[in-house]
Amino acid sequence: MNPSNDRYSRLMMAAHWLTLILLIAIYALIELRGLVPKSNPLHDAMKSWHAMAGLTVFCLTFIRLSIRNVSAIPPITPILSDWQHRLARAMHLTLYAFLILMPLLGWLTLSAQDKPVPFFAWEWPALITPDKALGRNLQDIHEIIGNIGYFLIGLHAAAALAHHYILRDNTLIRMLPGQRSGSVHQPRDRSSH
């Protein structure tokens, strides 16, 4: 599963970057849907694609957790302080909770609104009986946590860049494809130019 002890396995990297691509699609679909008139069939199609991408993230998150459970986690070098390690762990737990909770809330919302829960060629079963008031409340919660998601994803990206360019450790490199060494990013020697 992990041929290099200084980087995540290719499978873990693929799952990580696929999750990011799906999250971009999820947010783009829901934000751009407002530009499409409700009478246009594309409006409903974008809602369906949003739901399907969200449920794909839901499934992918459990696959990621399984891969993480059986793969070695490459160490961060230089080693983080205790508070940095605890903060990083809390951030990862929060992100995984977000990746599970958001699709689950979407599934519950559609179920409460008595709407189909599309998943490509299939339809997932309703989790709860129809209840329009509950459906509205769940949708509000889904949207609030979705807005918090912008902050979480941005903070995760900013932290990775801070580790790379400020702390100068290998946190980011461990998840980047194409680089095989465990070396930390070093500034380019400009004297040779």
Place of tokens 């900013």: 158
Evaluate if residue 155 carries a pLDDT over 90.
Answer: yes
pLDDT of amino acid 189:
37
Residue pair 57/19 in contact (Cβ under 8 Å)? The answer is yes
- Stretch (H or E) spanning 118: strand 117-119
pLDDT of amino acid 106:
98
Residue, of 1 and 191, whose pLDDT is higher? 1
Evaluate if residue 144 carries a pLDDT over 80.
Answer: yes
pLDDT of amino acid 6:
86
Residue pair 58/103 in contact (Cβ under 8 Å)? The answer is yes
Residues 55-98: tens digit of each pLDDT: 999 999 999 999 999 988 999 999 999 999 999 999 999 999 99
Closest CA to 25 of 100, 80, 17, 104: 17
Helix (H, G, I), strand (E, B) or coil at 123: strand
Q: How far is CA 96 from CA 151, 153, 166, in A?
A: 14, 11, 25
How much is the average pLDDT of 132-138? 98
Helix (H, G, I), strand (E, B) or coil at 145: helix
pLDDT of amino acid 186:
42
pLDDT of amino acid 149:
97
Structural domains of the chain, with CATH: 10-178 (1.20.950)
- Range with the lowest mean pLDDT among 42-56, 66-80, 138-152? 66-80
pLDDT of amino acid 103:
98
